[in-house]
Amino acid sequence: MEWIAYLDEEEISRFNRREKEDYYLAQIAAEIRQSYVKERVKIETFLMKFEEVKELVKPKKTVEERTKRAQAFWSVVVLKLPKRKK
């Protein structure tokens, strides 16, 4: 179980660090851009910038809001049902 938690954390943190491939693709993008525009551009322009993401907190919905949403959903479902023949 600890190993799975480690792999999940490693996969998440992998997106927050730059690797060789990122610099390689940024270099390719810079070269393509320079073929269209005369001015030179730095490779860092094409590297993605990451920020630490804090866990999102969803606001609690009131009972009335949940009821309205459920009624809207089920009204669509019921209206799309084929009519039964008698």
Residue 25 lies in a domain: yes
What per-residue confidence (pLDDT) applies to 53?
62
Based on the structure, what is the number of domains in the chain? 1
Residue in 25, 13, 24 with CA at minimum distance from that of residue 50: 13
The model's pTM is 0.44
Indicate whether 64 belongs to any domain: yes
- Residues 86 and 17: their CA atoms lie apart, in Å, by 65
For residue 55, is it within any domain? Answer: yes
Asked, for residue 86, whether it belongs to a domain, the answer is: no
Q: Could you tell me if residue 37 is inside a domain? A: yes
pLDDT of residue 73: 84
Amino acid occupying residue 2: E
In which residue ranges of the chain is pLDDT below 50?
Answer: none
Residue 7: domain span: 2-80
Query: Are 22 and 48 contacting, i.e. CB atoms less than 8 angstroms apart?
Result: yes
pLDDT at 11: 72
State residue 82's pLDDT score: 64
pLDDT of the residue at 1: 62
Which tokens belong to 84? 């039964």
